[in-house]
Amino acid sequence: MQEKINQMQGSRLGSRRLPTIPALGRILPGGGLMAGAAYSVENSTTLAMALLAGPSGSGAWCSVIGIPDFNVEAAANLGIDLDRLILIPHLDGQWLTVTAAMVDVVSIILTTAPATITSTDAARLRARLRQRGAALITIGAWPQSEAVLRVSDNQWGGLGTGSGHLQTRRLKVTAKGNNGRSRSSELSLTELQQRTWPQLNTADSMTIDQRFVPQVVGA
C-alpha cells in the first residue's frame, strides 16, 4: 500500500508548507501548516477537519486515527477527499505504533492523542514527521505543538424570537505559537469550505478498504 500511495503522491508535497485555508494561514506560525510539524486543536473537530482539508484537497493522502465518531459527511463538506482518506477508528491500545507506521504512508494525520503520551515518545514521533515530511494534527493537548488552535467565540445566525433556522456560523479562531504569541481571526463557516486547491502530482485515485488497513499497519 505504501508503494502504491507514494507512486500516486509523487514527491509528496512540493514544499515545506502545506496548502492551508487562507483565513487559517493568516494566524498560523509561518503562514500555514508546515510539513514535519505537529499542531493541536483544543475544542473543535470542525476546525481540525478544516486544517486537514487543504492538504487533502490538493491530493495528499491523509489518515484519521483513533476517532470512532469521525463524521465523513462533514469531512466531505469541508473539502476532504474521501478517496484519499484512511480511517483507523479503533487502536486497541496501539496508538503510538499505528501512528508512527502511518507517518510512513500518508502526508498528514488527524488523531486524538492519549493522555499517557510521554515527552520522549512525542519527540521520537516528531523526528519521524520531519524525516518523512508529514504533519500531525491532534484534537487535545500535544507536548510539542508548533501551535495550539482553539475556537474562542462561536456565533450562530438565522434564529428569530421563537422561529427561524440556523443559517450562518461565525467563529473566532485563535492560534498560539510555541513562542507564546497568539493571533486571532474571525471567519465564517463558508470560509472553511474552500473547494479549489492547487493540485499535487497524482495519478488515479485508489480507495482503501478500512478493514484492510490494520493488516497493513501491523505488517
Q: Give the model's pLDDT for residue 201.
A: 45
Kindly report, residue by residue over 8-43, the tens digit of the pLDDT.
Answer: 444 444 447 888 888 888 899 989 999 999 999 998
Q: Give the model's pLDDT for residue 172.
A: 87
> Cα(185)–Cα(101) distance, rounded to whole angstroms?
35
> Cα(90)–Cα(71) distance, rounded to whole angstroms?
15
Kindly report, residue by residue over 90-138, the tens digit of the pLDDT.
Answer: 988 899 999 999 999 999 999 998 888 888 999 999 999 999 999 999 9
Q: Give the model's pLDDT for residue 92.
A: 83
pTM: 0.77
> Cα(68)–Cα(42) distance, rounded to whole angstroms?
18
Q: How far apart are the first and last CA of the chain?
A: 11
What's the chain's Rg over C-alpha atoms?
Answer: 17
Phi-psi region of 31 (alpha: psi -120 to 50; beta: other; left: phi over 0): left
Laid out side by side, the sheet with 135-139 consists of 85-88, 62-65, 108-111, 135-139, 38-41, 147-159, 164-177, 182-188
How many other C-beta atoms lie within 10 A of the C-beta of residue 120? 9
Kindly report, residue by residue over 41-99, the tens digit of the pLDDT.
Answer: 998 898 999 999 988 988 899 999 999 999 999 899 888 999 999 999 998 889 999 99
How many other C-beta atoms lie within 10 A of the C-beta of residue 99? 25
Whose cell is 492560534? That residue is: 175
> Cα(83)–Cα(56) distance, rounded to whole angstroms?
10
